Amino acid sequence: MRRLLFINKFSRGFTLFEVIITLLVVSTLGLSLYTMMGTLVSGSSTPLVWLGDQLELNGVMEKITADHENYILNQGLDLTGFKDRITNGNVDTNTPYYGEYTVQYNDFILFDSSNTEIPGGADLLKVSIGRGEFSITALFSQ
- Domain chopping of the chain, boundaries: 51-141
**Cis ω on the peptide bond leading into residue 96 (within 30° of 0)?**
yes
Q: DSSP 3-state assignment of 58?
A: helix
In this predicted structure, what is the pLDDT of residue 34?
Answer: 85
| Model confidence pLDDT, tens digit, residues 29-68 | 988 888 888 777 777 777 888 888 899 999 999 999 998 8
- Residue 138, SS3? strand
Question: Would you state the pLDDT for residue 62?
Answer: 93
Residue 121: pLDDT over 90: no
Does this model's pTM top 0.85?
no
Q: Phi and psi of 103, rounded to 5°?
A: -85, 115
What mean pLDDT value characterizes the chain?
84
What's the CA gap between 56 and 101, in Å, rounded?
Answer: 9
